[in-house]
Structure 1
Amino acid sequence: MNYLELLSPARNLECGMAAIDHGADAVYIGAERFGARQAAGNPVGDIAELCKYAHTFGAKVYVTVNTIIYDDELKGTEELIWRLYDVGVDAILVQDMGILEMNLPPIDLHASTQTDNRTKEKVAWLAAHGFKRVVLARELSLTDIAGIHRDVPGVEIEAFVHGALCVSYSGQCYASQYCFGRSANRGECAQFCRLRFDLEDSAGQRIVAGKHLLSLKDMCRIDSIEQMADAGVTSFKIEGRLKDITYVKNVTAAYSRRLDGIVKRHPDKYCRASFGKCSYTFTPSLDKTFNRGFTDYFLKGRESSIISFDTPKSIGEYVGKVKEVHNNSFSIAGTASFANGDGLCFVNGKRELEGFRVNRADGNKIYPLKMPRGLCRGMEIYRNNDHAFEKLLARKSAERKIPLAMCLEATDDGFRLEVSVEGVMAVHDDVVLDKQEAKTPQRDNIVRQLTKLGNTPYECRDVKLLPVGFNYFIPSSVLAGMRRRVVDKLHDVPLVRKRQETERSCEDVRSVRLLCNDKYYNYNISNRLARNFYVREGKGGLPEAYEISMPKGALLMQCRHCIRFSLGRCVKYGGQKPEWRAPLFLRLPDGRRFRLEFDCMECKMNVYADD
């Protein structure tokens, strides 16, 4: 049986609990320090509470410890990991290999996508060094993923399925540090890739003016998750530790329902990794929460629609075209309904996103708070804030219950109540009681008393009475006491799926060399423990992390996204032969330039500092 895990982001305790309620099998959250989103840190006390809540459903909690670490932070990092282990955290996500040199508790290690996991050699090397799971680079295709799973079957594969995309391979981006002194590898990314650039050639000719040439659309792979599961993906990861609770609720629910559908079609092949069934007060819709338009990125090969040149902002859902424009209103041709407070937007004549708030909606006639000047007939309108949908999600919008099966059986000296959870775990309670034949049928009252589960996370799906013909009188107070005691026992027993571990290679760690097919790879060594680790790996003399050394003319980004391809000028893919003079440069409005290198053999684009 293959277990499918939906992994949702948690900005804080509230978001983490909401993710569990809406169908997540696991959540990932940042602690006070050392997570790759500095603005999403949480006290260990809150993480402890999240663990307790998640473990009720057999769901897991992973904590991001995936920044590079400086020498004066090594002790604090080790202490933090022990505190996380003590409160029940199931695994930590790691970037810095110095952590492997620490005195660690027996906690599972996951190799963060920040370790740039794009080859089978890298994944095998990480597995050989004790990593139970590897988070793959977002840029990999289904074929790449299947190949890694085939060649390294002993490691769990985690892959992103939804959310914002970094244009550079994760862990290999230094543009934010170079431009703003804010390191992406320290959780401080300033989103250099979302800025507006001119594209120039070496002669100073402007090829493109004022466009977001590095800003990718958001990932959405909801229609491909079964193929990803077949390729060997264990955990399906939603990006968004900076996103609000409505995003977490909506996106988690959408993907959870899709995974349930896969399990229902293939019950002998797949099973959810945690327990419980969710019911929702809303219909999930991915278009209704923050998105820049969607792409499945390189999952099925290179495609031209991964970039959003006009804007890095949320576009939302398409709702129709402008039919008529009046002095203080306009009408939309389409089937969508609107509400006061909706946020609408459109791309104006300057190819810029322009947004406005709906003051009043009368059917498809919209009265904006302020009439946008650039609005014209025929323009496409998008809704990037659905007021009614947001209001619905602001309330309790889901309930998760673990289905129980109960069996009440007569024993030699009384009765036994046994409760089982999906056939994988059972608890029981016995009472000594004289058996009295009932004068009237008792089944209805017994079922009513045993299934009063109230605000517990359980619901009873079936009650069986044994032996056949069971018709004993049992006081309601006795039945209620048995029910309370078995529920308490359920709370005390960890609810865990028993997974069949894939046999791992016993190959000596030293015989698995770190092979990297990318000649541009950087190891991000920022402390003495990491340096010692790589020396033992035969990688002595490696340079220090960019954040420490700051070399001139450095490689700042490595991208699968290629501007030449997106502009239709890649001859390899049938595009028009470029007329400009190489090399090309990106130029910011303040004049700073960045040289582009097109590595056509590897089908990649590199961005360099032009010091």
Structure 2
Amino acid sequence: MNGNADMKNVELLAPAGTYEAFRAAINAGADAVYLGGSAFGARAYAGNFDKEQLLEALDFAHIRDRKVYLTVNTLLKENEMGEPLYDYLLPFYEAGLDAVIVQDWGVFDLIQKAFPGLDIHASTQMAVTGCASAGLLKRMGATRVVPARELTLDDIKKIDQNVDIEIESFVHGALCYSYSGQCLMSSMLGDRSGNRGRCAQPCRMKYDNEYVLSLKDMCTLELIPQLVQAGVDSFKIEGRMKSSEYVAGVVSVYRRYLDKYLEYGKNAVKPHERDLISLSDLYNRGGFSKGYYPGKKGRDMVSLTKPNHQGTCAMEVISSKPGSAVCKALVLLNKGDVFDLEKEFDYTLAGAVKPGGTVTLSLPKKICDAKGQKALQSPQ
């Protein structure tokens, strides 16, 4: 942000892996959307956009005064450079593409020379970790950097204070265990390169009987004031592999709280429990962390028991005896909701229960005391 007092310029940037997710992001309040085309994107297994869809997306966004950023963030082979890349980008450039997100220096150079005026955003896969790398990219012609996700708020603030360049930072969604863009595990273990858009997610696999590399997703609603004050110009939501419902839900929550902050200041940003539950319902890996922003790293950032969506904590056991447990509802429960206790026993709710109400569950007699245990609402 570089000292700019006009915080109205803070951008909310949403992911889109399909045209449906793109429309959902725009309708939910995103200022800009990043997406991949039919080639050169780091999410080869997302739905992505063919030429006609991408041109339609550009028109749809620009009519509504929104922006579209195209991911060209894989490492290219020699036979992909030059004419293939030029021919791929030309129709989007002519249609007013707002920016490209780039990892490869060769791609960076070609775009600068062949497409004057097209903004270049340095991908998080470039692993920008400080003022030196951000300053180099600024001198080379980048208009924005997406720093490595391992940076703290203080690290980002230093870049903002010393380099006159836009800063785009991830605020919600999945975290890589490795430094951004520096992981070669997928290539080594499965012959699928993350830098070619084909990561097999080895960090979500089990090692020594636990998911020791599977980080919890990040949620930074509470950090909105600190992120803006640190100089973040664009709030980036992760999730090009996620559904349109996920995109719309996350964007709408962040839109509301970002607007509150910009209008009323930091005292207005006190996330309500229902919004945190809503985000958790959409996707969580055993809860959320605040990522690396606070500067504290540790075991509580890792989801050891399961690498994917784990549902929402909905009930707590307040008393139990062999064969049964009484649970208190922590949120509104509906008939047909499914829960699991101890990740071993599943239950389907027979009727609706208001927060604070109780439910009696049958348990195997071998479980003598379950008091204090949490029942998770299973993802449907």
Q: TM-score range by the shorter chain?
A: 0.7 to 0.9
Moved more, 176-185 or 336-345: 336-345
Shift of 1:343: 4.0
Q: Which residue matches 1:391?
A: none
Of structures 1 and 2, the larger Rg is shown by 1
Q: Which residue matches 2:105?
A: 97
Deviation per CA, 1:441-467: give whole Å up to 9, x if none: xxxxxxxxxxxxxxxxxxxxxxxxxxx
Q: Which residue matches 1:87?
A: 95
CA RMSD of aligned residues (A): 2.7
Q: Which residue matches 2:123?
A: 112
Task: Provide closer, same or farther for how the CA distance between residues 47 and 366 of structure 1 changes in structure 2, counting only shifts above 3 A.
Answer: farther
Deviation per CA, 1:120-172: give whole Å up to 9, x if none: 1111111111110000111111110010011102x100000000100101210
Task: Provide closer, same or farther for how the CA distance between residues 333 and 46 of structure 1 changes in structure 2, counting only shifts above 3 A.
Answer: same
Counterpart residue type for residue 374 of structure 2 = E
Shift of 1:361: 3.3
Structure 2 residue 349 is the aligned partner of structure 1 residue 338: no
Shift of 1:256: 0.4
Structure 2 residue 354 is the aligned partner of structure 1 residue 361: no
Q: Which residue matches 1:231?
A: 230
Q: Which residue matches 1:263?
A: 262
Structure 2 counterpart of 1:48, from 40, 48, 55? 55
- Report the 3-state secondary structure (helix = DSSP H, G, I; strand = E; otherwise coil) of the residue aligned with 2:149: coil
Shift of 1:37: 0.6
Contact kept, 8 Å, 1:117 with 1:136, in 2: the verdict is yes
Structure 2 counterpart of 1:313, from 308, 313, 326? 308
Task: Provide closer, same or farther for how the CA distance between residues 159 and 362 of structure 1 changes in structure 2, counting only shifts above 3 A.
Answer: closer
- Number of aligned positions between the proteins: 354
Shift of 1:181: 0.5
Find the aligned partners of 1:374 and 1:69 in 2 and give their Cα distance. 57
- Report the 3-state secondary structure (helix = DSSP H, G, I; strand = E; otherwise coil) of the residue aligned with 1:361: coil
Task: Provide closer, same or farther for how the CA distance between residues 328 and 374 of structure 1 changes in structure 2, counting only shifts above 3 A.
Answer: closer
Shift of 1:254: 0.8
In proportion to residue count, which structure has more helix? 2
In proportion to residue count, which structure has more strand? 1
Structure 2 counterpart of 1:59, from 63, 66, 70? 66
Structure 1 residues not aligned, in runs of 5+: 199-209, 268-281, 388-611
Shift of 1:42: 1.2
Deviation per CA, 1:203-239: give whole Å up to 9, x if none: xxxxxxx111111111111111211111111000000
Find the aligned partners of 1:226 and 1:67 in 2 and give their Cα distance. 33
Counterpart residue type for residue 127 of structure 2 = D
Per the normalisation by structure 1, the TM-score is 0.54
Structure 2 residue 290 is the aligned partner of structure 1 residue 288: no
Find the aligned partners of 2:57 and 2:330 in 1 and give their Cα distance. 41
Counterpart residue type for residue 132 of structure 1 = T
Task: Provide closer, same or farther for how the CA distance between residues 359 and 300 of structure 1 changes in structure 2, counting only shifts above 3 A.
Answer: closer
Find the aligned partners of 2:170 and 2:178 in 1 and give their Cα distance. 15
Task: Provide closer, same or farther for how the CA distance between residues 54 and 345 of structure 1 changes in structure 2, counting only shifts above 3 A.
Answer: farther
Find the aligned partners of 2:125 and 2:301 in 1 and give their Cα distance. 21
Counterpart residue type for residue 98 of structure 1 = G
Counterpart residue type for residue 153 of structure 2 = L
Structure 1 counterpart of 2:196, from 181, 186, 197? 186
Task: Provide closer, same or farther for how the CA distance between residues 87 and 359 of structure 1 changes in structure 2, counting only shifts above 3 A.
Answer: farther
Task: Provide closer, same or farther for how the CA distance between residues 315 and 376 of structure 1 changes in structure 2, counting only shifts above 3 A.
Answer: farther
Shift of 1:336: 2.0
Please give the residue correspondences for 1:416-427 in structure 2 after superposition, counting only pairs within 5 Å.
Answer: none
Shift of 1:17: 1.1
Per the normalisation by structure 2, the TM-score is 0.85
Find the aligned partners of 2:347 and 2:34 in 1 and give their Cα distance. 34
Structure 2 residue 239 is the aligned partner of structure 1 residue 249: no
Q: Which residue matches 1:140?
A: 151
